[in-house]
Amino acid sequence: MSLYLVTGGAGFVGSYLVRFLLDKGESVRVLDNFSTGKRENLDEVSSRVDLVEGDLNDPEAVAKAVRGVDFVLHEAAIPSVPRSIEKPMESHEANATGTLMLLQAAQAAGVGRLVYASSSSVYGANPELPKVETMRTQPLSPYAVAKLTAEHYCMVFHKLYGLETVALRYFNVFGPRQDPNSPYSGVVSRFIDAIVSDTPPTIHGDGEQTRDFTYVDNVAHANFAACHEAAAAGGVYNIGCQKRISVNELWNTMAELSGRHLEPKREPARSGDVPHSLADISAARRDLGLDPKIGVRDGLEKTLSFYIPSPQ
C-alpha cells in the first residue's frame, strides 16, 4: 500500500481520483483550500481520507501534505480560461507559482513521483491536428501560459533535482461532480445545468468548434499508470480519446440521451478559445498503456445518470 497525495482532491477530477485510489486499496491524503473544490465531494469518503486544508502557496501546509508521501497527483488549479483572462495574476499564482511550491516541497520530502495535470490549452493557436506532444505550443490565455510554465518547472525538477515528474495534458475532461453551476465550468457541465433546469443551453460561436471530450475514468487510469510506469518519468503525454466531435453534436447527443430537446441560445465566440482540438495519444498508449475504454456517448450516459437518476 502506497500513500498518495491528491492536491485539489475536493474538486471534480481530484475527488474522482480519490475514490479510484481508495477502490484500489491505497492510502490517500488530500490537500485543498476549497476555493473551487467542494467539501461534499468528499463527504462519503471523508473517514478514509487524511485531509490537509490549506493553500499551495502556504509552505507550512504543503510541507505537511507531502510528508511521507510516495506519489503526488497534482490536480489543484483554478481551471478556467475566462477567469484567467479576467484575473491573470490569480491564475499564475495558483497554477504556476503553486506548482513550483509543491515541487520544491516534494523534492525535499523525497516523494517518489509527481504527476501533474496539465492541459491541451497549451497548444493554443497551433492549427495542426492532431495535437502531438512535440509540436510547438502557442498558448492563447494566461491559464494556458501558467499550465505550460508549470510543465517546464516539472521537467526542470526531473532533470536538475532528480524528482520524477510526469505531465498529463488533459483534453476536455467531463464526468460526475463537475460543477455545473460555476460560470467557468466546462461545456458538458453547462449543458447538464441547462438540462436539469430545463432552460436553453448557450453555445458560443457557431458550435462547429470541435473537442476531444474525455471521460474522467480514462483520466484516472492514466494518472495511476503515470505513477508506476518507468518509461513515463520525465515525460509529457496527451490524455484524450483521439476522437473529436463538435459542440453542436455534443448538445444533440445530450439532448437525445436526456429527452430534453431545447433550442440553444447562440452567443459570440469567447476570446482565448481554440477552434479545434484533437489528441494524438500514441505516446500515452506506448508508455502508459492508455486505452480509453469509455467513449463520449457512454461517458455522457454515466454523467447524466449521476445528475438525473433513473426513477425507481
Alpha-helical (H) ranges within the chain are: 12-23, 59-66, 81-86, 88-92, 98-109, 142-161, 187-197, 216-228, 247-258, 282-288, 296-307
Looking at residues 240-252, what average pLDDT do you find? Answer: 96
Looking at residues 52-66, what average pLDDT do you find? Answer: 97
Catalytic residue (one of 4, 143, 170, 215): 143
pLDDT tens-digit series, residues 16-34: 999 999 999 999 999 999 9
Domain ranges of the chain: 3-174+214-241+281-292
Q: What confidence tier does 270 reach under pLDDT thresholds 50, 70, 90?
A: confident
* Cis preceding-peptide flag for 130 (omega within 30 of 0): yes
Q: Which residue has the cell 515528474?
A: 165
Q: What confidence tier does 275 reach under pLDDT thresholds 50, 70, 90?
A: confident
For residue 113, which of 167, 153, 72, 161 has the smallest C-alpha distance?
A: 72
DSSP-assigned letter for residue 269: P
Answer positive or negative: Cα dihedral of 217, 219, 225, 227: negative
pLDDT tens-digit series, residues 155-179: 999 999 999 999 999 999 999 998 8
Pick the range with the lowest mean pLDDT from 45-54, 202-211, 239-248, 303-312. 303-312
For residue 81, which of 152, 206, 185, 154 has the smallest C-alpha distance?
A: 185
Residues 42, 267: Cα–Cα separation, whole Å: 35
Residues 51, 31: Cα–Cα separation, whole Å: 6
Task: Domain 3-174+214-241+281-292: give its CATH code.
Answer: 3.40.50.720
Residue 312 pLDDT > 50: no
pLDDT tens-digit series, residues 148-160: 999 999 999 999 9
pLDDT tens-digit series, residues 87-108: 999 999 999 999 999 999 999 9
Per the annotation, the verdict on 143 as an active-site residue is yes
